[in-house]
Copies of this chain bind each other. A is one copy, B any other.
Amino acid sequence: MGAMQHPPEEDIVLTRVLYALSDEGRLAIVRRLGAKGVATCAELEDGRPKSSMSHHFRVLRQCGVVRTEVAGTSHLNSLRREELDRRFPGVLAAILAV
Contact = CB atoms under 8 A, between A and B. Distances in A.
A95 B18 contact: yes
Interface in A13-36: 14-16, 18-19, 21-24, 27
Interface residues of A, number: 19
A22 B18 contact: yes
User: How many copies of the polypeptide does the oligomer hold?
Assistant: 2
Provide the main secondary structure of the chain A interface. Answer: helix
Interface in A84-98: 88-91, 93-95, 97-98
B88 A94 contact: yes
Interface in A34-75: none
A94 B89 CA distance: 7
